Structure 1
Amino acid sequence: MKHTSIFATLVLLFSLATGFAHANEPSTININAANATTLSALSGIGQSKAEAIVAYREANGPFASVEDLANVKGIGARTVEKNAQRLAVK
């Protein structure tokens, strides 16, 4: 009986730990719809670069791919690469 309660406790702790890990995962950002505030949450993107992304999008239309983000002045391929898992062009 004692082994069963220890096992149940371990299963519960593992379940909680897994849930917390998923809760901390960053959400995907659609670069064709996000505002400057949302974009500024990306790694290497401050408020001014985020505003440049929005301005570029308004002037040139939606991004065809995540990689096209590097066409924005001040945003390099390395910045796109660092954020690739969080970016989408839905």
Structure 2
Amino acid sequence: MANRFLPALCLAALLHAGAALAAVDVNRAREADLDGIKGIGPALSSRILAERARGRFQDWRDLISRVKGIGPAAAARLSDEGLTVDGASYAPQEAPPGKAPGH
């Protein structure tokens, strides 16, 4: 009897895993979508949505500059969890020419 349900159970697990790995675009996401990203809770999703109401995010640098609680490290973690800005994952900016990283 259990063998009859195994394929359906496997399919359900795969669909759930695929949904968990799906990208969530910060410019299109609903509050529930944002809350589904590990590292974004109700307070952060509210700040994101409040800033987005003032205008869409142009890129990750814009998101980081406008939303309290999202810095480069948090942006990298959230991107790893599936958050994107207009479909783009976070890529740390290189240091300007003549400037060593971390200075």
TM class by shorter chain equals 0.5 to 0.7
Q: Structure 2 length as normaliser, TM-score?
A: 0.57
Q: Structure 1 length as normaliser, TM-score?
A: 0.64
Which of 53, 75, 78 is equivalent to 1:80?
75
| 8 Å contact kept, 2:37–2:83 | no
Q: CA RMSD in A?
A: 2.2
CA deviation after TM superposition for structure 1 residue 34, in Å:
0.6
Q: How many residues align?
A: 71
Which of 51, 59, 66 is equivalent to 1:56?
51
Q: Please list every run of 5 or more consecutive structure 2 residues that lacks an aligned counterpart in the other structure.
A: 1-9, 88-103
Return the index of the structure with the highest Cα Rg.
1
Q: Please list every run of 5 or more consecutive structure 1 residues that lacks an aligned counterpart in the other structure.
A: 1-15
> Is 2:20 the counterpart of 1:32?
no
| 8 Å contact kept, 2:64–2:72 | yes
Task: Detail structure 1 runs of 4+ shifted over 3 Å in the superposition.
Answer: none
